[in-house]
Amino acid sequence: MKKSINNMEKYRDKLEYPKIIAKLAEYASFAVSREMLLALEPLPSLPQAREAGAATTEGVELLRLYPTYSLGPCRDIRDSLRRLELGGALTIEQLIAVADLCRAARLNKDFFSHIKGHFPQLTDLARGISLFKTIENALDKALTADGQVADGASDRLYGIRRRIRTYERQIQDHLENFIRNPNTAKFLQEPIVTQRAGRFVVPVRQECRSSVAGLVHDVSGSGATLFVEPLAVMQANNELARLHADEEEEIAAILRALSLLVGSHAEELAYSLNCLAQLDFVVAKARLSMEMNGAAVQLNDNGLINLKKARHPLIKGEVVPIDLRLEPRLRVMVITGPNTGGKTVTLKTVGLLTLMAEAGLHIPAEPGSSLGYFRQVFADIGDEQSIEQSLSTFSAHMSNIVNILENAAEDSLVLLDELGSGTDPTEGAALAMSILEYLHRSCGKTLATTHYSELKSFVYNKSGYINASVEFDVETLRPTYRLLMGVPGKSNAFQIAQKLGLKPEIVRRANSFLTADEQQVADLISSLEAHKLQAERASHEADLRLAEIVEQQRRLKEQEIELANREAEIISKAQLQAAELVKERRREAEELYQKLKQELKAAGAQPHNKEVQAARSKLQKLQDSLQSNLPAKKYQGEAPAKVQIGQSVEIPKLHQSGIVCTLPDDKGELTVQIGVMKVNVKQADLRIDQRRVERERTGATRQMIQNKSRHISPEIDLHGLTVEEAVYQLDKYLDDAFLANLHQVRVIHGRGTGALKSGIMPYLQKHRLVAAVKPADYNDGGWGVTIVELK
């Protein structure tokens, strides 16, 4: 029995899959889609992976047709929606984010309703987006571009702010006269008007304090200047302070009202937010594809790997593409060749591109490339030496390989780098051959690199195995990074040594030490390389011709689809016009019949009802025939097997939701209430309204919380209560105030003996929702009122 693997992250790390995902997430437009992209993993089934890849292809085609497309001003409002579920009110910034989301929803809904082209998955996502004109208009009217509540948000706010401006002008005019008057200007430190604690004051020299009647609000750091509110403007300042308090209260009421409006559409907003994020998710995958010049890959379930001009997406600079084809019957490929020749890069390229394709991404390769779908991708690549665990490179590799062998299955891809290295060459080669035999029997596909020449002959002419090598240019002493299929790699040691200046007689003598079998293998490899190059040239020419044929077929298929759609559209339009014409003629015939009937009645004659009924019947049959031949539209989901009176349903044909009023009759028809209108529809045309079901389940609870906080006052009066009663009332009040998004409240306890204040102060100072506690200003209640700032 195989051991279970906790996760595949460590193998994906070796193949650098997280780096691709991080690069992909950079294309996200906002936080929701970015989280979805960062969580992207290979999909658990072949159909899902194919569908995700088709969506990416749609995204690429969309960007090619509409290169300037963007999601728009989309914002993450999930925290705001959670706050609304608790009945809380939103801040101005949160409401602006909601307005941006509504705007993005409208723009994308409009865009996808007018685009040309075939984008089934993208347009399906766009259909799920709702329009929020009421919310958008209300927020645009109430909030300004700089993040303030507009004067016109309510009539009361407009009146309050107009009076505030009037009082400010009066106070400033009076103080301007004060500082310009020679009799009073001499008492001032500077001829200016400023503010302290929201009240207009003038800077008076300390020694002249007694000469200016008024209230001191502040003292400069040196003590030489007192900021005094003259008695002449004190009443106006009081009125101004009261008006500012009214302004804050009205703003809080406006924000609560706007929050209730947004909260009434919370489910639709959340669903639309998810649809927009899904759209951005697909478009981000498309942008990555275009950035790396990617192409759709054909995923199969038979293990075929056919990569054409594949490139590792993370290698910068000029990359030499590889061509690799492994037929389903070939289960093991052994790659040999010199160091730095590209063997490890080949393994990583195959592994990473497989993971990308299974996650629905395009791969950097030529169109027509194919990859097998593997449920698990294992990789033993890189230096596994662990000083911390006191394991040698060989031991660490073996520990990893043991885990792979215990878990690899028929639907697994195994990638092994430098198999058997790090120990005695003879034993390492023997162990490598045994491991490859085991994987050939139990694993879907295995790709391994090695330096051991014994593995070349082991694989040669063995059923289900194939040799491959990375090419090396002996003339330049550099690797070409080309992968040669079916050809084992040569060490090229003698040629390299001679090129570097080693005497020819030494090279000839070294060659004599080779056994006859070893010389035969070297000659065989040279012959294979020559034939391989000829075959590659022929294959390249054939691929070019095939590509031309495939492109012609693609264009013909597109033309065929376009013509079929156009034909269906023309037929549908003609049939609808014919049906309308028959309906109009039937109406005209009925009017003519009624007119004739009246004339005959006036003349004392009787109409021939039998002929009239026959004509009516023919018209009705013609109209029914035209209607029945209209192309049928298909809608997602299944019709409900049973319905109940009062059940919430959707009517896709009408793009409406409603409530079932009657049970189906013997013809399968029933009555549905849509707003103030009742319509008769067939049960087969109904779908379950899941969003409304969920909304009805949670709406009552949310409404209760909203009603509780809708009229919350910014102050609580505890006069006449005992300490115990006051604490109880205060606890409930603070919870409601926090949910209503009040940042500061007034607790009125009175002066009296001070017992009530002393009793509630320790409670307030330790309360979980309280950020700070301070006594009120003199004109705001003084010691009889405590100001509480909420978190």
What single string gives the DSSP state of each residue in 135-190? HHHHHHHHB-TTS-B-GGG-HHHHHHHHHHHHHHHHHHHHHHHHHHSHHHHTTBSS
327 pLDDT higher than 50: yes
Q: With pLDDT > 90 as the criterion, what percentage of the chain qualifies? A: 36
- Tell me, what's the pLDDT at 45? 94
Given the DSSP bridges, would you call strands 298-300 and 225-230 parallel, antiparallel or unpaired? unpaired
Type and span of the H or E element at 589: helix 516-603
388 pLDDT higher than 50: no
- Tell me, what's the pLDDT at 419? 86
- Tell me, what's the pLDDT at 749? 84
387 pLDDT higher than 70: no
Name the token pair of 142: 């109430």
Confidence at 493, pLDDT banded by 50, 70, 90: low
Asked if 734 and 763 count as a contact pair (C-beta separation under 8 A), the reply is no
Residue-wise pLDDT tens digits, 288-317: 999 999 999 999 999 999 999 999 999 887
Confidence at 729, pLDDT banded by 50, 70, 90: confident
Confidence at 251, pLDDT banded by 50, 70, 90: very high
Helix, strand, coil percent values for the chain (each to nearest 5): 55, 15, 30
Given the DSSP bridges, would you call strands 669-674 and 656-660 parallel, antiparallel or unpaired? antiparallel
CB atoms within 10 A of CB 491: 15
DSSP of 363-393, one letter per residue? BSS-TT-EEE--SEEEEE-S---BTTTTB-H
- Tell me, what's the pLDDT at 82? 95
- Tell me, what's the pLDDT at 412? 94
- Tell me, what's the pLDDT at 563? 72
- Tell me, what's the pLDDT at 752? 73
725 pLDDT higher than 60: yes
Residue-wise pLDDT tens digits, 740-775: 667 788 888 887 777 888 888 888 888 878 888 888
Residue-wise pLDDT tens digits, 86-122: 999 999 999 999 999 999 999 999 999 988 888 999 9
- Tell me, what's the pLDDT at 151? 93
690 pLDDT higher than 50: yes
Question: Apex CA 60: angle with CA 56 and CA 65, to 5°?
Answer: 145
Confidence at 696, pLDDT banded by 50, 70, 90: very low
- Tell me, what's the pLDDT at 575? 63
State how far the Cα of 775 lies from the Cα of 764, in Å rounded to an integer.
12
631 pLDDT higher than 60: no
Residue-averaged pLDDT of the chain: 82
- Tell me, what's the pLDDT at 645? 82
8/229: higher pLDDT: 229
- Tell me, what's the pLDDT at 699? 47
Q: Which residues pair with 659 in a beta bridge?
A: 648, 673
Question: For 318-331, what is the mean pLDDT?
Answer: 88
Residue-wise pLDDT tens digits, 431-473: 989 999 999 998 889 999 887 877 877 887 788 999 888 876 6
Helices and strands (DSSP H and E) totals, the chain? 23, 23
- Tell me, what's the pLDDT at 7? 57
Q: Whose CA is closest to 211, among 195, 194, 226, 192?
A: 226
Residue-wise pLDDT tens digits, 210-227: 888 888 888 888 888 889
138 pLDDT higher than 80: yes
Residue-wise pLDDT tens digits, 703-715: 544 554 445 778 8
- Tell me, what's the pLDDT at 445? 93
State how far the Cα of 91 lies from the Cα of 255, in Å rounded to an integer.
7
578/337: higher pLDDT: 337
CB atoms within 10 A of CB 635: 14
Q: Which residues pair with 176 in a beta bridge?
A: none
Given the DSSP bridges, would you call strands 648-651 and 687-688 parallel, antiparallel or unpaired? antiparallel
CB atoms within 10 A of CB 655: 8
Asked if 722 and 758 count as a contact pair (C-beta separation under 8 A), the reply is no
Asked if 159 and 292 count as a contact pair (C-beta separation under 8 A), the reply is no
Q: How far is CA 87 from CA 101, 132, 262, 265, in A?
A: 21, 20, 11, 13
Name the token pair of 451: 């330096």
Residue-wise pLDDT tens digits, 497-531: 666 677 778 867 776 766 555 555 555 555 555 56
State how far the Cα of 467 lies from the Cα of 305, in Å rounded to an integer.
15
- Cβ contacts of residue 414 below 8 Å, gap of 6+? 378, 379, 404, 408, 439, 443, 445, 446, 447
Cα-trace Rg, the chain: 41
Q: Is 192 in a helix, a strand, or coil? A: coil
